[in-house]
Structure 1
């Protein structure tokens, strides 16, 4: 069975660590996606309010808040946009909190390109 290639997405990547942000943006770009970046909750909200998005990938810990709050606000402002959480923590409780906030996936850092691609595919192909 052949898998249909994924269409390019407009992704908001929210990550406060510059090397991690650059690496993830590179992986997303190589996959053909258009990626806007933000390093704070406030900057991410500006993008959400102003940009057309298909997907948000967000770190949970941000310098001015958290990705859980950001995801809840995204669900109010743009309910059809889905999210993938990035975190250094991956207990069942951490994953449950992410899902309760509205994230479809929860990836534990460090994240490899294939895991990210798989999470994007699962997140965007499911209803």
Structure 2
């Protein structure tokens, strides 16, 4: 089982994360949680953890500083950011820190589960750092495109992120196809 550590200064977010995902189906278990980055860093130094799920804006130590410090202790740590802030600068800095994904609150369960599945797959297969980076960038591109297709991203934000990620939809015609499993009902998880 992969060990997950959650950090958020909002107790109801932590409680919700325990309940909204069937962690064992991803081969994961939540081993602990903290209400701020400083307490989390202290716990991370003495506890085996594979995946860190953290908020950005917290007292004592913000999520980005936590990630930087946690990487010094556990360089192989996988990190998922949950944030109420839809700020491009946070995403950009998070990417530079090697995050798995930057998910916005309120949490889209399907997007979180997809990120967990991809993260577990990465942990299952030891990849070279270059392949690992390319895979992480592809997840972020997929996330941006998903938000664009479902109307969850403003045009200016999409253009900003697409430019940063070298996504080009500059063509006379762009076609989009959405494929679903026959057994899957749209909108149902």
- Flag whether TM exceeds 0.5 (same fold): yes
Find 1:61's aligned residue among 57, 60, 74.
57
Alignment of 1:1-12 (within 5 A): 8-12=1-5
Mapped contact 1:56–1:83 kept (Cα < 8 A):
yes
Larger radius of gyration: 2
User: What residue in structure 2 maps to residue 52 of structure 1?
Assistant: 48
Spell out, residue by residue over 1:53-104, the C-alpha distance to the aligned partner (whole angstroms, 9 max, x if none).
1100000011112100000111110011110011112243221121123322
What secondary structure sits across from 1:10 in the alignment?
strand
Give 5+ residue unaligned stretches, structure 1.
Answer: 1-7
Q: Which has the higher contact order (CA 8 A, sep 6+)?
A: 1
Q: CA RMSD in A?
A: 1.5
Higher strand share: 1
User: What residue in structure 1 maps to residue 105 of structure 2?
Assistant: 109
Shift of the alpha carbon at 1:120?
1.5
Give 5+ residue unaligned stretches, structure 2.
Answer: 123-131, 133-189
Q: Distance in 2 between matches of 1:17 and 1:58?
A: 11
Shift of the alpha carbon at 1:114?
1.9
User: What residue in structure 2 maps to residue 26 of structure 1?
Assistant: 19
TM-score (norm 1): 0.84
Shift of the alpha carbon at 1:49?
0.4
Aligned residues: 119
Q: Which runs of 4+ in 1 moved over 6 A?
A: none
Q: Distance in 2 between matches of 1:88 and 1:96?
A: 16
